Structure 1
Amino acid sequence: MTDAELARDIAAEAGALLLRIQAECAGGDRGDREANALILERLRAARPDDAILSEESADDPVRLARSRVWIVDPLDGTREFAERREDWAVHVALAVEGRAASGAVALPKLGLTLSSDAPPPLPQPQTPPRMLVSRTRASALCVDVAGRIGAVSVGMGSAGAKAMAVVRGAAEIYLHSGGQHQWDNCAPVAVALAAGLHASRIDGSPIVYNERATEIPDLLICRKEWAETVLAAVRKCGS
């Protein structure tokens, strides 16, 4: 089984578990805990020599000496999960030498698991572009950039749901500047890159994973034809 196939199978299995938990109780604490246990058990059985970085587990510094590190978010969008919305996700990704090499994002409420080995073909983009932002706290930068490029802002929940909306053709741009962690975007970036999208920091630099600090302050995932326009608008907003 390839790394991408493993990521897809584990993300889908964790998503099915979370749907059962959601049907019993809407709270996300149990979902975080049980989905994390399932993912770690499956990864350790299938890839015992790889390190793991999970949002729901203590960070083990041994990962810094490993070239292969699984980076997972068992439940991305705990608030949306508790509110029984559709925009939450499961992230399972493998970083190799700091690069998002393989990954899968499950969208259980939509019945979808998107993986880096079989991304869907990109449909034709829409004009004006749709830009995904936080549904509860869109940053001033996102508002400013949307105005500069004539984008329509669309609020949505979890990072994985927003990134996969671009992959699925439901939007053209996902811009984030409010701070994230490696587990928030490693799997989404792996799938987005495999689908032929642009993915970078908002200064255009590549995103590096398995760094000591887990924080990643910002992110841009978008159609390639919009990348330079968005990056230029970000530079203008910061000048």
Structure 2
Amino acid sequence: MSGPINAAAMSDGDLASHLAQVAGQILIDVRSSGLFSAKALGKAGDQTANQFLVHALREVRGDDGLLSEEEKDNPARLDQSRVWIVDPVDGTREYGEERADWAVHVGLAIDGEPVLGAVALPGLDGGTVLRSDRPIPVPPAPDTLRMVVSRTRPAKEAVEVAERLGAELVPMGSAGAKAMAIILGQADIYLHSGGQYEWDSMAPAAVALAHGLHASRIDGSPLVYNQADVYLPDLLVCRKEHAEQVLALIGEVAQAA
């Protein structure tokens, strides 16, 4: 058994990646136990991974603020410059159904900006962690663009924009999995307007921006985090060369509605 690591001396990037990877392995172990139904599995996984992430961050970054989907909000974070924003299981339904399109988000916002993030995709073969501090080459876009949308409730705006672009719709689960699909060359545009919270997009946005992608609200305004109201309902992630056209089409669809 390996000895303890000096987590307090880790860089923020190494810490975020380590936490996301370990939380992902915890979730795989919970699922592999065979003790839970699909519905109960989601709750068990969420709570177990959340306890690990929250306790770990309080242990090694106790002076920073913290916001987690599965933890009671502490308003003291609003007065802090550095705030960790985590989603222990993004795509709880997909996790419970033993699909691969779920993720673990560990992100750090500094003065409201998505500065650093790690997104673990434990359901992929061997597990994958994409990091803002270690970007990888993003494959070029194909001739026919691909837009990832919710597999259960694709947003009307996204479907209409895809039609105007001639883009193929790719149904997928978690927000993190959708955003990372662009980096992995599985998709080209992620347009969401159906409602999200800060933990759904913070780490994916940080990773996407670090990989040279465009990430914004669907009106083109910046994504701002660590707000009193954590509802952040819409998101656009795409290659920079597609952003202007997609934002224009979003405006056209809104005007036609």
TM-based fold match above 0.5? yes
State yes or no: 1:30 paired with 2:34. Answer: no
Q: Once the 2 structures are TM-superposed, how far is the Cα of residue 171 of structure 1 from its aligned partner?
A: 0.6
Q: Which has the higher Rg, Structure 1 or Structure 2?
A: 2
Looking at structure 1, the residues matched to 21 and 103 of structure 2 have their Cα atoms a distance apart, in angstroms, of 10
115-124 vs 77-86, which deviates more?
A: 115-124
1:85 aligns with 2:99: yes
Partner-residue secondary structure (3-state), 1:87: coil
Deviation at 1:139, TM superposition (A): 1.2
Amino acid at match of 2:120: A
TM-score with structure 1 setting the length: 0.99
2:35 matched to 1:19?
no
Equivalent residue, structure 2, for 1:198: 214
1:174 corresponds in structure 2 to 190
**CA–CA distance in 2 between the matches of 1:132 and 1:122?**
16
* Structure 2 residue corresponding to 1:207, chosen from 201, 206, 223: 223
Q: In 1, are the aligned partners of 2:88 and 2:105 still within 8 Å (CA)?
A: yes
Name 1:235's counterpart in structure 2.
Answer: 251
Structure 2 residue ranges without an equivalent (≥5): 1-9
Large movers: runs of 4+ above 6 Å? none
TM-score (norm 2): 0.92
| 1:180 match: secondary structure | coil
Give aligned pairs, total. Answer: 239
Could you tell me which runs of 5 or more consecutive residues in structure 1 were left unpaired when the two chains were aligned: none
2:83 alignment counterpart: 69
Question: Cα distance, 1:45 vs. partner?
Answer: 1.4
Q: What residue in structure 2 maps to residue 99 of structure 1? A: 113
AA aligned opposite 1:234: I
Per-residue displacement from partner, 1:31-58 (whole Å, max 9, x unpaired)?
0011001001111111110010000000
How do residues 37-52 of structure 1 correspond to structure 2 at under 5 angstroms? 37-52=51-66
- After TM superposition, the structure 1 = structure 2 runs for residues 112-123 of structure 1, keeping only pairs within 5 Å, are 112-123=128-139
Match of 2:11 in 1: 2
User: Secondary structure in 2 aligned to 1:75?
Assistant: strand
TM superposition shift of 1:123 = 1.1
RMSD: 0.7
AA in 2 matched with 1:72: V
How far off its partner does 1:127 sit?
1.6
1:122-161 to structure 2, matched below 5 A, reads 122-161=138-177
- Output one character per residue of 1:78-120: Cα deviation in whole Å (capped at 9) or x when no partner: 1001100000000000000000011100000111011111122
CA shift for structure 1 position 204: 0.3
- Give the conservation status (yes or no) of the 8 Å contact 2:90–2:105: yes
Q: Distance in 2 between matches of 1:113 and 1:89?
A: 9
For 2:84, give the aligned amino acid: W
The CA distance in 1 between the partners of 2:138 and 2:155, in whole Å, is 27
Match of 1:217 in 2: 233
Amino acid at match of 2:21: A
CA distance in 1, matches of 2:200, 2:172: 15
**Are 1:55 and 2:69 counterparts?**
yes
